[in-house]
Amino acid sequence: MSSELERRLESLLAEAPEPDAGAGEEALHRALRALQPSAPSHRGLRTAVLVFAIAAVLLAIAAGSLAAAGALHVSFGQRTKHRPVTTTQLLRPKGANGIAAIVDGRLAVAIKGGFRVEGLTASAVALSPHALYFAAGLGHSLVAMAPGGRTAWSHPTGGEVVAIAWAPDGFRIAYVVRHGRRFALRAIYGDGTHDALIDRSVRPVRPSWRADNLAFAYVGAGGHAVVYDVGHEKHSVSGAAAPITHVSFAPVGKALAVATPGSVVLNGKRVATGEVEALGWRQDGRLEAAFENGVTPPLVRMFERNGRQLGGFRVPGRVLTVSSGFVMTRTPNRIIAGWQQQANARSVLSVGPEASIRDLQLG
């Protein structure tokens, strides 16, 4: 199935519109105009300006080339400050196709086959099915990239992208954009076309697609879970108590699990109480929820689709994500990943105790 999905994804992305052929040339002209010296009075100053101009022009040419390839949306005159990056090399866990995260505002991606991206300033990231591609929020653009420099596209968003979710078939992406103090939900085709506004006021929570690709769940501005039917363009509000902190559709069927600050609700039925750190599904159809009680190590509980609890196990550190039986936890100086009860745990990322981790995802 993965080969068929890859073939269809490549075919879809190959239809993406070509970027402006003059992007690199325009970037170069802008850089040259900006670098014109104003009446230099000393030979040393002229030399320094010339050296700086050459370096800046080379940088502009590189940026223009990336823009022409669809990998970067070029923007001049914007500067963003970030804390020093504390991450070391990101390691892809054995058995996973890829791993992606935002560490201190910087992109970190490692995909099967040796492809990796690290250090690029980004606001959000998500892997496509089987980690064949990844999408990231770069500046005020949503950018899709393919390992090995294959087809990619860039779509201007008019704001910072804060959450991204690929559909299971890879042909649509739901994403949340910040506009001032508000957040808007949008959806776009996997080739970067047909961008559409879904909800002009939502909360910055990653959406979750239903297994049939025909709907996805998100958190509305009022804190309630909302399911959007793509085919009929209809919204339906979940009856679960607000505010919702996590939404997660089952990998098969239509079961929807949501979490509030103090409970887990499955198909409208409360199945557990406690402080929820992470929520996800195993491929066998069982729900996993990680709870933090502040005294003992976090407890990961498992549930049948009918809500019956199946037991659980404790893990070290703070749980960052649970997915398909894979648990990632954070200790004071590293992130540990392992299947089920950490039997195969290994460090996948070393970070400082104050490092900010977002969008940690396995593919």
The burial class, CB within 10 Å (0-12 / 13-18 / 19+), for 3 is: exposed
- Residue length of the chain: 363
Both structure tokens of 222: 């009022």
Cα separation, 15 vs 332, in Å, equals 46
Domains and CATH numbers, the chain: 2-12+21-68 (no CATH), 98-362 (2.130.10.10)
Both structure tokens of 172: 């649509």
Mean pLDDT of the residues in the chain? 78
Return the DSSP state at 220.
Answer: B
Note whether 216 and 207 are within 8 A (CB). Answer: yes
Residue 361's closest CA among 100, 93, 95?
A: 100
Task: For 80-148, give the DSSP string.
Answer: ---PPP------PPTT-SEEEEEETTEEEEEETTTEEEEEEE-SEEEEPGGGS-EEEEETTEEEEE-GG
Residue 290's closest CA among 268, 257, 252?
A: 257
**Residues 228-240 pLDDT 10s:** 999 999 999 987 7
**Residues 17-40 pLDDT 10s:** 444 433 433 333 343 333 333 333
Q: pLDDT tens digits, the chain, 363 residues: what are they?
A: 455 655 665 565 555 544 443 343 333 334 333 333 333 334 443 444 333 444 443 334 334 333 333 333 322 223 334 444 444 578 888 888 999 999 999 999 999 888 888 889 999 999 999 999 999 999 999 999 987 756 589 999 999 999 999 999 999 999 999 999 999 999 999 999 999 999 999 999 999 999 999 999 999 999 999 999 999 999 999 877 789 999 999 999 999 999 998 999 999 999 999 989 999 998 888 999 999 866 577 888 999 988 999 888 888 888 999 887 788 888 888 888 887 655 567 888 888 888 899 999 988
